[in-house]
Amino acid sequence: MQTRRKIYRILRNKYILSLVLFSLWLFFFDQNNLVNRFQEMRRINQLEADKGYFRERISADSARLNELKTDRENLEKFAREQYLMKRENEEIFIIEFDD
């Protein structure tokens, strides 16, 4: 009984009640509530990871592009493999394996 009275007395205090209501409003109902904050933080972390991945891809592609620009044989090999280009009087046979 004593604990109930203490709790009731604390909740009747207008300052504590307003603090509780204000906290609830901030945590759940406000535009910048905690749920949205955590979702945005998770999204930022994912974008940072993607940023690292794309930086690695850019550096690898830049190295590959530089290699293709400097060596004519690599350029021809790339064109044949990626775009199925061929020389005159030459036939290409594509063999696909199903696993």
Same-domain check for residues 49 and 81: yes
Q: Does residue 99 sit within a domain? A: no
Same-domain check for residues 78 and 66: yes
* C-alpha–C-alpha distance, residues 8 and 2, integer Å: 10
Enclosing domain of residue 69 = 34-87
Quick check: 54 pLDDT over 70? yes
The 3-state DSSP class for residue 95 equals coil
Asked if 68 contacts 78 with a C-beta cutoff of 8 angstroms, the reply is: yes
Mean pLDDT of the region 27-49: 88
- pLDDT computed for residue 39 by the predictor: 92
Q: Does residue 92 sit within a domain? A: no
Of residues 61 and 8, more confidence is placed in 61
Of residues 66 and 17, more confidence is placed in 66
Asked if 70 contacts 64 with a C-beta cutoff of 8 angstroms, the reply is: no
Percentage of residues in the chain with pLDDT exceeding 70?
Answer: 99
* C-alpha–C-alpha distance, residues 82 and 68, integer Å: 13
Q: Does residue 66 sit within a domain? A: yes
pLDDT band at 1 (very low <50, low <70, confident <90, very high): low
Same-domain check for residues 53 and 72: yes
pLDDT band at 40 (very low <50, low <70, confident <90, very high): very high
Split into its structural domains, the chain has a count of 2
Residue with tokens 């906290």: 23
* C-alpha–C-alpha distance, residues 8 and 1, integer Å: 11
